[in-house]
Amino acid sequence: MNRKSERPIKITEVCLRDGSHVMQHQFTEDQVRRVARELDDAGMHYIEVSHGDGLGGSTLQYGKSFVDEMKLIEAAVDECKQATVAVLLLPGIGTVHELKQAHTLGAGLVRVATHVTEADVSAQHISMACELGMEAIGFLMMAHMASTEKLVEQAKLMESYGAQAVYVTDSAGAILPHEVHEKISALKESLSIEIGFHAHNNLSLAVANTIAALEEGATRIDGSVRCLGAGAGNAQTEVLLSVLDRMGINLGIDIYKMMDIAEHTVGPLIPRPQEINKGSLILGYAGVYSSFLLHAERAGQRFGLDSRDILLELGKMKVVGGQEDMILDVAAQLAKARKLEV
């Protein structure tokens, strides 16, 4: 593959953060320790650990964690001998207080995540991460909802705040390969820092989109073992690594060990198969945040609705991460409207 960057490719394993949505944020310390230890032994570069909605996400609105996330971060740091433990922070959910605490416990990288048009709210958090000596990364979520020009504008803001990389984040798994080429290429031409790509597999395009991003010069990519991530999961790490190896790109991670982790360690944890079913498919089709799926299914059961109708309506409304409270409102409105029709 003729990549447009000579920087080494780094991969972040997100099953202990994005996968928290699937686990309904009920990870135990023992589970985190075992997964982190085995990932570290396999040679993983970064392992992201936090509530699915980032630092400070353990709330009634987003879902209460079984174990305090700081204990999980500390446990992962304790197990990792070479991998860097990373955390996610959404301004407005997490604060610089949680960021400082995570850093004190040993987290070495933070991805500061905002909606794709709201990069300005990341300034304080990115700046603080830089002051702490952490790797500070910008994470532009729901990237399909903005034009390429707007994406470049927002990424430049994050770069100006001190971000060492900016991610195109396909939170809904809705971006198509040609759009990945366009967006990553534009960022590559406009920024001097690294470019990353975070995929979701709701349209079965996570690995293909990640390869497209690499072809345009991205050097930061994400994966989730056994697809343990919101919706239909992310780019399946063991599959992605195998594809890259077939392409002559060796990231220094033991593929056999990653296969074993997927089969014997992570697989048994997953409450239901991570497959593209009607729920995850509608997320990509409607362009809705992947973590909304379980909330919409619960709302559908409560109001006697098809969760797909709820998600399609949310997509029309262009809801974004952090607006989970609107799911019940939309469900209630749809149920009321149908009663009036009858």
DSSP 224-236: BGGG-SSTT-SSB
3-state secondary structure of 256: helix
Q: Is 46 annotated as a binding residue?
A: no
- Note the helical H segments in 162-205: 177-190
Cα dihedral 114, 284, 317, 23 sign: negative
Angle ∠(30,293,290) on CA atoms, nearest 5:
80
The DSSP symbol for 63 reads B
How remote is the C-alpha of 41 from its chain's centroid?
23
Q: What is the DSSP code (8-state) at residue 204?
A: S
Binding site annotation covers 289? Answer: yes
- CA-closest candidate to residue 322, choices 65, 57, 24: 57
Which long-range contacts link 149-156 to residues 24+ away (Cβ below 8 Å)? 149/186, 150/116, 150/117, 151/116, 151/183, 151/186, 151/187, 152/186, 152/187, 152/190, 152/191, 154/116, 154/117, 154/118, 154/119, 155/119, 155/187, 155/190, 155/191, 156/190, 156/191
d(CA 83, CA 80): 6
* Residues near 329 by beta carbon (within 8 Å), at least 6 away in sequence: none
Question: How far apart are alpha carbons 333 and 135 in whole angstroms?
Answer: 44
Q: Is 115 marked active-site?
A: no
From 21, 45, 51, 103, active-site residue: 21
Does the annotation flag 198 for ligand binding? Answer: yes
18 is in an annotated binding site: yes
Q: What is the DSSP letter of 268?
A: G
Q: Is 17 annotated as a binding residue?
A: yes
**Distance separating alpha carbons of residues 96 and 55, to the nearest angstrom:** 10
Residues making up the annotated binding site for substrate are 17-18, 171, 198, 289
Residues making up the annotated binding site for Mn(2+) are 18, 198, 200
> What residues are annotated to the active site?
21
